[in-house]
Structure 1
Amino acid sequence: MKGFTVILACLFTTAAMAQRLAPADVAALTQTEDSLRAVHYDVINGKVQEFRSSRNDQFIPQLVKALKTKYSFYYPFDSIRTMAKVYPQDSTFRIITWPLENDNSTFRHFGVIQMNTKDGSLKLFPLFDNSDFTKNMDTITNHKGWYGCLYYAIKQQHYFNAEYYTLFGWDANSQTSQKKIAEMLTFKNGEPVFGGPFFSFAEDTVPKPNRNRFVIEYKRDAVAALNYNPEMDMIVFDHLISETGEEVKKYTLVPDLDYEGFKWKAGKWVHIEKVFHDALQQGKAPVGEPMDKKKVDLTKPQTAEDINAETLEKAAQKGKKKKKGE
């Protein structure tokens, strides 16, 4: 089913591009894409920070210039595999994001929101990563105060004549821990708004205040899921425990094969404390799978998501077998 969906998306993009973009513009964008791909390869793979930053400074104006081409929204830039692109179901915009690694293994993120305009003109919101300048992640911001990350998925919800877009992002963060983020994107007076009190814990055993942004931080070489599961119609994420019994030290947290979630109810994502009822015993957490940088592209969190999807599927099958045996 996933492969079929990808094929349909490719066919739609190709058809839309053929209908909207002039042949001469397609040819010009194809040539520009080759140049952009070469520059962005250096942004990701350059050996020293100064060189990576310099190439990034070259890449941004070149990308913006390409996006100024009329109806460029329909050009997918598929060959630039070192930047992530997500589209909502209604195709009213797309978000392009990418990382820039510092020599200390921390990351700064860059990105743009490109709106799908009726006349094909460029309407762009540059995203400015403010995460290094604030310790408070529970914020509501505009595109100038963006909490930088790579967006790997998006889920659109319609509620009371308004559209709500849940974004799922990944931040390599530091040498010891990484983060996954779920946050709501809305538009107010045509301007993007990131965050809002959409994550509710009102139905928890011990209720807690709403959060404007939901974040899990965990050990750098562990693999943890945070994504929308269409079959369950909910957000599912790994429950985390500390390998050392020190919950406050986020770099010690790893999944224990128990799962939590959020269910969309009355315009909010309501927390579900336990999705499956077949967790491992406390203290029996699995060792995180090492991250081999030669095999895992840090710009493609989808690779980790595929692994997580398999884990969820196995857990669901295990739960079904247990239910049948009862």
Structure 2
Amino acid sequence: MKAIFLIIAICSTAAAFGQKLPAASFAELEKRQDSLRAMSYEIINGKTQEVRSTRNDAFIPALVKALKTPYSFYFPFDSLTTMAKVYPADSTFRIFTWPLENDNSTFRHFGVIQMNTKDGSLKLFPLFDNSDFTTNTDTITNHHGWYGCLYYAIIQRRYFNAEYYTLFGWDANNMRSQKKIAEMLTFKDSVPVFGGPYFSFVEDTVRKPTRNRFILEYKRDAAASLNWNPEANLIIYDHLISETGEETKKFTLVPDMDYEGFKWQAGKWVHVEKIFHDALEKGKVPVGVPFDKSKSNLKEPKTYDEIAEEEAAKQAEKDAKKKKKKN
């Protein structure tokens, strides 16, 4: 978990905009970052839950105090590698998230949204993880009812003069399963709103209800992807099947080398049932050497129509050869 989280934190760090940060503020934040780094390390690596919780309790007010420094939005906090950071394309805000592991291998998440203000003052929305206290994950909430996770990516879309920010998150969850999450972030009356009826299955063979949040839960030691693919212009994720034939038991689900996705259409993410065609036969699960996903051509995903055209062309070529031999 620690290695994966470190990668997420490093990859999600945005570039600093040092030219807008006064020298005095930069020097102050450099000092504060040193103490924050020590505390954040213990939040992740502390030997006991008591140590981790104590460091986290100290870290939160220390981070807020640092963010009160004028124009702190332009300080990258790039040495805090245990804290994930994402920025939208318009840089109107940024989100910090981090986990706190319990001794029973469950996790609680913490985070803040820092708005980019013109006068450099602090406008902050603390995120309160409510995921352990609700059985309904398909909710629309504000920052007080946040579905806690680590955000590793964000993409921005505009529709009818409104901005839509799609967040991609990871939750280590528990000893048996982990989760990848895609959800929409919007702002209503300048207050963040998480979730909404943006994940549509209207084009599926068997139509399913629209979801407020898309969650991919799977076996803890499996590796499943859920992210934006700019070359394909799609959200792409692994199709999952059960190792034991028990589809309702999420901790048995693993990727089968097939892919699904979502395309942006009329202000919604519309489900695409099949993108690639290198799936296993139904009912089978991967065995032996793990599948090397680098062999899949993510830059040129094939649709059913394209596959059909290729097969038709191959068959036509075979028929032409046979006809030539007969003649």
TM-score, reference length from structure 1: 0.86
Q: Residues 209, 283 of structure 1: CA spacing in aligned structure 2 closer, same or farther, 3 A cutoff?
A: closer
1:116-163 CA-to-partner distances (Å, cap 9, x unmatched) read 001000000000000010010000000000000000000100000000
The question of 1:204 aligning with 2:186 is answered: no
| C-alpha displacement of 1:31 | 1.3
CA distance in 1, matches of 2:148, 2:29: 27
Provide the secondary structure at the position in 2 that maps to 1:69.
coil
Partner AA of 2:182 in structure 1: A
Runs of 4+ in 1 over 3 A off after TM superposition: 287-290, 315-326
CA distance in 2, matches of 1:37, 1:289: 39
| C-alpha displacement of 1:283 | 3.7
| C-alpha displacement of 1:316 | 4.0
Partner AA of 1:139 in structure 2: T
| C-alpha displacement of 1:21 | 1.5
CA distance in 2, matches of 1:228, 1:156: 11
Provide the secondary structure at the position in 2 that maps to 1:78.
coil
Partner AA of 1:314 in structure 2: S
**Aligned ranges 1:92-103 → 2 under 5 Å:** 92-103=92-103
| C-alpha displacement of 1:249 | 0.5
CA distance in 2, matches of 1:29, 1:265: 42
| C-alpha displacement of 1:282 | 2.4
**Aligned ranges 1:49-64 → 2 under 5 Å:** 49-64=49-64
1:64-94 CA-to-partner distances (Å, cap 9, x unmatched) read 0000001100000001100000000000000
Provide the secondary structure at the position in 1 that maps to 2:209.
strand
CA distance in 2, matches of 1:275, 1:257: 11
Q: Residues 313, 227 of structure 1: CA spacing in aligned structure 2 closer, same or farther, 3 A cutoff?
A: farther
Number of positions where the alignment pairs a residue of Structure 1 with one of Structure 2: 296
Partner AA of 2:140 in structure 1: I
**Aligned ranges 1:37-76 → 2 under 5 Å:** 37-76=37-76
Answer whether contact 1:99 1:150 (CA < 8 A) is retained.
Answer: yes
CA distance in 2, matches of 1:79, 1:288: 39
CA distance in 2, matches of 1:162, 1:179: 29
**Structure 1: gaps spanning 5 or more residues:** 1-5, 291-307
Give 1:311's match in structure 2, choosing from 285, 293, 308: 293
Provide the secondary structure at the position in 2 that maps to 1:120.
coil
Q: Which stretch has the larger CA shift, 20-29 or 61-70?
A: 20-29
Q: CA RMSD in A?
A: 2.2
TM-score, reference length from structure 2: 0.86
CA distance in 2, matches of 1:24, 1:289: 55
**Structure 2: gaps spanning 5 or more residues:** 1-10, 315-327
**Aligned ranges 1:144-293 → 2 under 5 Å:** 144-287=144-287
CA distance in 1, matches of 2:202, 2:133: 31
| C-alpha displacement of 1:260 | 0.3
CA distance in 1, matches of 2:276, 2:246: 25
CA distance in 1, matches of 2:77, 2:108: 22
Instruction: Please identify the structure whose Cα radius of gyration is greater.
Output: 2
| C-alpha displacement of 1:287 | 4.8
CA distance in 2, matches of 1:262, 1:232: 11
CA distance in 2, matches of 1:39, 1:281: 49
Among the aligned pairs, what percent are the same residue?
72
Answer whether contact 2:275 2:301 (CA < 8 A) is retained.
Answer: no
Q: Which residue of 1 aligns with 2:22?
A: 22
Provide the secondary structure at the position in 1 that maps to 2:53.
helix
